[in-house]
Homo-oligomer: A and B are copies of this chain.
Amino acid sequence: MQAEIITIGDEILIGQIVDSNSAFIAKELNKIGVSVYQITSVEDDRDHILQSLHQASERSSLVILTGGLGPTKDDVTKQTLCEFFEDELVRDEGVLQHIENLFAKYISTPISDLNRNQALIPSKATVLHNAYGTAPGLWLKKGETSFVSLPGVPFEMKRLVLDQVLPRVIETYDRPHIIHTTLLTYGLGESAIAERIEEWENNLPYHIKLAYLPNLGRVRLRLTAKGRDKEKLEKEINEKVEQVYPSIKDIYYGIEEDGAIEERVANLLTKKGMTLSTAESFTGGKIAEELTSIPGASAYFKGTVVSYATETKINVLGVPSELIEKHSVVSEEVAISMARNVKNILNTDFAIATTGNAGPSKGDSDEDIGTVFIAISTPECTFAEKFTMGNHRERIVKKSVNKAFELLWKEILKF
């Protein structure tokens, strides 16, 4: 079976927000064996929504809509659904009670008619209870196709998908299994990899697809298998991975589904009971932020000094000012001093330090824009490596954060 997603809202079509809702829904549907055939973003406009509903229902047996359920005038999804289903809005007493409770509990302003109107529901719809907001989800059927309408607020949408939509989809549809395994590689372009693995790729069976996903100096190789027998699929994918491994082992660094590199660092440190601190200059706290976005970080992450100014490197991190004068602030020696000192100050087993020039101006150093040093301090040694990361500020920071985690990960494995 296949599904479609329709996201409704002018803010997507004028580029005011990035549509992350549909990526979330697509990923969750995929996990339970539902392929998403198309994602369509349309305006808050009756005619356009109707056209999309018609087209989607001709192609797919499940259509999920997000957005346009708010209480204000610019939102027209509910009225348009009534037209599409030749239905009318009726008051749902359960929803009204829930809205009144939310207002009494959390909202300081008095409840208004606009709020009460959110309890008006197409009479043919099943209500999906939205514990976190005033707009309920709706489940409707026309012929063989189910239509699900969800609020566009990401947090409310996510809870509705996980708690209400997925269980109903599992109950309603017979679905195959879809398994993704994504091999992570670095240091080689997609066409060079394609040549290395050409014979293996040509011999993949029809139900296993390969995709090359290049980004920021890395290529991810995604294998997707689809079929009825989950165990057989997993066995086949594992065999294919083992077959290809010898051809890519020098550029391979893991499997995406095992978690991102920062998660693998986190798991490894937690398992070993070891700790980490960071001293960040041009990465500006990005390494710390990625670490602390993982629940449980307090077990292994003690803290960071973001030493954006040179005087902070001297006064807080204790980097000798002579070292900076002699080698400049963007240098191997300063990176090593930062890593070693933050490890001592924060009393940790490992430390990462970054110093570099992310542009757009040259700052306190003579090094070219894109030149960075990443230092790793371990219980046994401290070293720094130099990298040239291009000339685009955001990319320099992202690539450096990735590289820092890669370097650290390889070191932690030794302990």
Contact = CB atoms under 8 A, between A and B. Distances in A.
A346 B316 contact: yes
A401 to B, nearest CB: 10
Given A14-B26, A39-B41, A297-B284, A70 B190 contact: yes
A215 interface: yes
Contacts of A364: 298
A262 interface: no
Interface in A134-188: 153-155, 178, 180, 182, 188
Contacts of A10: 209, 211, 222, 224
A241 interface: no
A73 B292 CA distance: 39
Q: How large is the interface on A (under 10, 10 to 19, 20 to 34, 35 or more residues)?
A: 35 or more
B13 A36 contact: yes
A347 B26 CA distance: 49
A74 interface: yes
Contacts of A28: 15
A22 interface: yes
B284 A288 contact: yes
Interface stretch (A108-116, A122-130, A266-274, A406-414): A108-116
A19 B10 CA distance: 16
Contact of A23 (B19, B115, B182, B303): B19
Q: How many copies does the complex hold?
A: 2
Nearest to A302: B309
A209 B11 CA distance: 12
Interface string A210-227: 111111000000101000
Interface stretch (A42-50, A232-240, A377-385): A42-50
Interface of A: 10-20, 22-30, 35-44, 48, 55, 70-75, 107, 109, 112, 114-115, 153-155, 178, 180, 182, 188-192, 194-195, 201, 209-215, 222, 224, 277-278, 280, 282-289, 291-293, 295-298, 301-309, 311-312, 315-316, 345-347, 359-361, 363-364, 392-395, 397
13 contacts: A10-B224, A15-B26, A19-B39, A38-B41, A112-B191, A114-B194, A115-B189, A153-B214, A280-B288, A285-B286, A285-B292, A301-B309, A312-B346
Given A302-B311, A303-B306, A303-B316, 5 more contacts: A72-B191, A114-B191, A296-B361, A302-B312, A304-B304
